[in-house]
Amino acid sequence: MIQNMPIDECPGGITSPQGFLAGARGCRIRRLTKDVAMIVSEVPAAAAAVFTQNKTQAAPITVSKSQLKKSPYCSAVIVNSGNANACTGERGLNDAWEMVRTTATALGIPEDQVVVSSTGVIGQYLPMERILPCIAALASEVTRDGGRDAAQAIMTTDTYAKEVAVTFSLGNSVVTIGAMAKGSGMIAPNMATMLGFVTTDAAISQPLLAKALHTANAKSFNRITVDGDMSTNDMVIILANGLAKNAPIAEHTEEYTLFVAALEYVLIKLAKMIARDGEGATKLIEINVIGGTTEDEAARVAGAVANSNLVKTAIHGRDANWGRIMAAVGYSGVDFDPEQVEIFFNDLPILGKNYAILLDEEKATQVLGEENIVITIHLNQGSWGARFWTCDLSKEYVHINASYRS
Cα gap 382→387, rounded to integer Å: 16
In angstroms, rounded to a whole number, what is the distance separating the alpha carbons of residues 84 and 91? Answer: 13
CA atoms of 266 and 216, how far apart (whole Å): 9
List the catalytic residue out of 15, 193, 225, 232.
193
Please select the residue that binds its own copies; options are 15, 64, 85, 88, rule is CB under 8 A.
88
Phi and psi, residue 371, nearest 5°: -85, -20
Q: Which stretch binds its own copies (CB under 8 A): 68-76, 102-110, 290-298, 322-330?
A: 322-330
Q: Pick one of 8, 98, 319, 360: the residue that binds its own copies (CB under 8 A).
A: 319
- Reference 118, options 201, 199, 35; nearest CA is 35
- Rounded to 5°, the CA angle 85-90-91 comes to 60
Residue 222 has φ and ψ, to the nearest 5°, of -80, 0
Beta-carbon contacts of 90 under 8 Å, excluding residues fewer than 6 positions away, are none
CB of 217 to its own copies, least distance (A): 17
**Tell me, what amino acid is at 374?**
V
Contact between 127 and its own copies by CB under 8 A: the answer reads no
Q: Of how many residues is the chain composed? A: 406
Listed in order, strand segments (DSSP E) in 148-243 are: 162-170, 173-182, 195-200, 235-240
Residue 129 binds to its own copies (criterion: CB under 8 A):
no
Binding of its own copies by 202 (CB under 8 A): no
Tell me whether residue 15 or residue 232 sits nearer to its own copies (CB atom). 232
Q: Is 83 in the site for its own copies (CB under 8 A)?
A: no
Q: CB within 8 A of 114, min separation 6: which ones?
A: 67, 74, 75, 76, 77, 78, 100, 103, 104, 107
Beta bridge partners of 200: 177, 240
Choice between 199 and 307, CB closer to its own copies: 307
Smallest gap, in angstroms, from Cβ of residue 16 to its own copies? 33
Q: Which of 71, 94, 190, 366 binds its own copies (CB under 8 A)?
A: 190
The answer to whether 382 contacts its own copies (rule: CB under 8 A) is no
Question: Which stretch, 1-9, 21-29, 55-63, 215-223, contacts its own copies (CB under 8 A)?
Answer: 55-63
* Binding-site member from 317, 340, 370, 383 for its own copies (CB under 8 A): 317
Indicate whether 186 belongs to the interface with its own copies (CB under 8 A).
yes
- Piece of the chain touching its own copies by CB under 8 A; list 40-48, 201-209, 270-278, 321-329: 321-329
How would you label 267-278 residue by residue, b for 16+ Cβ within 10 Å and e otherwise? bbbbbbbbbbbb
Cβ closest to its own copies, residue 151 vs residue 285: 285
Instruction: Measure the N-to-C terminal CA separation of the chain; round to a whole number of Å.
Output: 46
Helices (H), 246-341: 254-276, 295-306, 309-316, 322-330
State how far the Cα of 42 lies from the Cα of 90, in Å rounded to an integer.
Answer: 33
- Look up 193 and say whether it is catalytic: yes
Please tell me what DSSP assigns to residue 247: P
Could you give the CA distance from residue 359 to residue 322 in angstroms, rounded to a whole number? 9
In whole angstroms, how close is the CB of 349 to its own copies at the nearest point?
Answer: 14
- 69 in contact with its own copies (CB under 8 A): no
Q: Least CB distance from residue 233 to its own copies, whole Å?
A: 9
398 binds its own copies (CB under 8 A): yes
Q: Is 229 in the site for its own copies (CB under 8 A)?
A: yes
Given candidates 5, 121, 137, 348, which one binds its own copies under the rule CB under 8 A? 121
Only segment of 34-42, 115-123, 144-152, 265-273 that touches its own copies (CB under 8 A): 115-123
Is residue 178 close enough to count as binding its own copies by CB under 8 A? no
Q: Which residues bind to its own copies, rule: CB under 8 A?
A: 53-57, 84, 86-90, 92, 121-123, 185-186, 188, 190, 227-232, 307-310, 313-314, 316-317, 319, 321-324, 326-331, 334-336, 338-339, 351, 354-355, 357, 393-395, 397-399, 401-406
**Looking at the annotation, which residues are catalytic?**
193
